[in-house]
């Protein structure tokens, strides 16, 4: 398990494990599995906004320029995307656990 392959968590979104620590890699792998299920439920705009913010690390104005929408739309989609991902994690892990 020293070299885990990249995993596509959404079309165009891949995650490469950055550690060889088996425990960390194992947890990251599970987290990717959970997030992949959650990301599937997002709207295309939510996915795009989150991808630009988390993977590309673009600021809101830069992400808005790239997506051709207003900055407040980027913010709204980042918020709704995170809320829906959280809900997805809750559903998978059990609300009582959270």
Partner 1 sequence: MTDREQATLPENDAESDERDDETAEQATVADELPVENGVAATGASAEADVSEPAPEPVAESESLAWAEATGAFVLGVLPADDAAAAAQEYAHSAALRAEVATLLPVADILLNLYQTQPAPAAGTAAALVATPAERAPSELTRRVETPRPQPGARPAMPTIGGLRPSSILIGVFALIAAIGVLWALSLNDRIATKNDEITALHRQVDQFRQAANASAFTLSPTSNGPEGARGTVFYSLADSRVIIDVSGLPELDQDRVYQVWFQRSGSNAWEPGPTFLVNQQGESVQRLPGETPTFARIAVSEEPAPGSSEPSGDFLLEGVLAGGNG
Name which of 3 and 44 has its Cβ closer to partner 1. 44
Residues in touch with partner 1 (CB under 8 A) = 5-12, 14-16, 18-19, 26-36, 40-42, 44, 47-48, 50, 53-55, 57-64, 70-72, 74-83, 85-86, 89, 92-93, 97-98
Least spacing, CB of residue 86 vs partner 1, in Å: 5
Least spacing, CB of residue 81 vs partner 1, in Å: 7
Least spacing, CB of residue 46 vs partner 1, in Å: 10
HEC profile of 16-72: CCCCCCHHHHHHHHHHHHHHHHHHHCCCHHHHHHHHHHHHCCCCHHHHHHHHCCCHH
The residues that bridge with 7 in the sheet, in sequence order, are: 15
Contacts of 57 (CB under 8 A, 6+ apart): none
């Amino acid at each position: 398990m020293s070299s885990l392959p990249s995993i596509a968590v959404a079309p165009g979104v891949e995650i490469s494990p950055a550690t060889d620590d088996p425990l960390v890699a194992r947890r990251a792998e599970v987290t990717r599995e959970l997030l992949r299920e959650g990301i599937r439920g997002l709207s295309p705009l939510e996915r795009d906004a989150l991808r630009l913010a988390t993977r590309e690390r673009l600021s809101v104005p830069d992400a808005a320029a790239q997506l051709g929408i207003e900055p407040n739309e980027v913010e709204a989609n980042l918020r709704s995307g995170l809320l829906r991902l959280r809900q997805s994690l809750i559903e998978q892990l059990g609300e009582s656990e959270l």
